[in-house]
Amino acid sequence: MQTILITGAAGDVGSRLRKLLKGVYSRLRISDIRKPADLRTDEEFIAADLSDYGQVEKITAGIDGIVHLGGYSVEGPWETIHKSNIVGCYNLFEAAYRAGVKRVVFASSNHAVGFYPRDRKIGVDVTVRPDSRYGVSKAFGEAVGALYADKHGLRVTCIRIGNVNDRPLDKRRLSIWIKPEDLAKLVRIGLEHPDIRFEIFYGASGNDAAWWDNSNAARFGYRPEGRSEEFRAEVMVEQAKLASDPIGDRFQGGPFCSDEYDADWKG
Ligand code: 15L
């Protein structure tokens, strides 16, 4: 892998990965709908709206591997999700294939499976159970990735990212936290490992309270360095200040599950 494109490079995760991947590949091209506030003079930036196929063609030309973070990163109105995460994601895979890109690492999300209860440990082979329109769009991205891998030989890695931060923020994040350096490790496996065809990994550090079986990532050599347990005492102090959320606290997706929830399940 020589020339890598990072979409969504102006966002929080994108900004962290730009720094962590700098110098790892000979050339990094970064893209977003807006210029990153901290763009350095030695960074190659091309602005692109992913919902415009012509613009996506321009950013994917001459690229070997893509880290696709671009899109809308929380729940939103359908029009927004559709434009950014459905049309934008399809354009990205289609343009990547047409341009001869070899690998795509897709930033999926825990919200593709957010309606699994917290007392169930899940692997990567479960049926998707999205907790939001956003989660549906991430399940869509995984499906599009599988299609381009199986039909066209693109090497695709989907990372169901938990929460990327310097430290876990609350009790739920003790289970799903990922240290930025660990996310960079997973991205590098997706871009470099010779045996990748189509894989799904959970984007989590080595958390004792994990709800996810991440043995598939371990199989490809993932050895996380972050451990959320180290932060448990301070996290629980923060958690005690939060209001309880009877629905959100039952499911892995937390507030994404309780948002707009009006199911009336008996039993
Ligand atoms: C996500 O997928 C979001 O992009 C991020 O902002 C967080 O909300 C995270 O999930 C989470 O579940 O904490």
DSSP string computed for 205-230: -S-TT-SB--HHHHHTT------GGG
* pLDDT score for 179: 98
Q: What is the enclosing helix (H) or strand (E) of 66?
A: strand 65-68
Q: Which ligand 1 atom is the nearest neighbour of the CA of 254?
A: 12
- Is 27 within 8 Å of 66 (Cβ atoms)? no
Q: Which ligand 1 atom is the nearest neighbour of the CA of 256?
A: 12
CA distances from 184 to 21, 145, 174, 188, 228 (A): 7, 20, 19, 6, 17
Q: 99 alpha carbon to ligand 1 midpoint, in Å?
A: 31
Going by C-alpha positions, the residue among 16, 15, 99, 21 that lies closest to residue 64 is 99
pLDDT, tens digit only, all 267 positions of the chain: 799 999 999 999 999 999 999 999 999 999 999 999 999 998 999 999 999 999 999 999 999 999 999 999 999 999 999 999 999 999 999 999 999 999 999 999 999 999 999 999 999 999 999 999 999 999 999 999 999 999 999 999 999 999 999 999 999 999 999 999 999 999 999 999 999 999 999 999 999 999 999 999 999 999 999 999 999 999 999 999 999 999 999 999 999 999 999 999 876
**Count of residues making up the chain:** 267
User: Which amino acid does the sequence have at 77?
Assistant: P
The C-alpha atoms of residue 163 and residue 148 are separated, in whole angstroms, by 27
CA distances from 239 to 74, 168, 233 (A): 21, 11, 10
Q: What residues act catalytically?
A: 134
Going by C-alpha positions, the residue among 252, 263, 256, 257 that lies closest to residue 120 is 252
Q: What is the pTM of this model?
A: 0.98
Measuring from atom 7 of ligand 1, which residue has the nearest CA?
A: 163
- Is 60 within 8 Å of 96 (Cβ atoms)? yes
Does residue 109's CB lie within 6 angstroms of at least one atom of ligand 1?
Answer: yes
Q: 164 alpha carbon to ligand 1 midpoint, in Å?
A: 8
Measuring from atom 9 of ligand 1, which residue has the nearest CA?
A: 163
The C-alpha atoms of residue 191 and residue 3 are separated, in whole angstroms, by 11
Measuring from atom 8 of ligand 1, which residue has the nearest CA?
A: 74
The C-alpha atoms of residue 71 and residue 87 are separated, in whole angstroms, by 10
- Is 225 within 8 Å of 178 (Cβ atoms)? no
Q: 61 alpha carbon to ligand 1 midpoint, in Å?
A: 30
Strand partners, 65: 4, 103
Of 15, 74, 137, the one to substitute when testing ligand 1's pocket (max ligand atoms within 8 A of C-beta) is: 74
The C-alpha atoms of residue 228 and residue 234 are separated, in whole angstroms, by 11
Measuring from atom 11 of ligand 1, which residue has the nearest CA?
A: 163
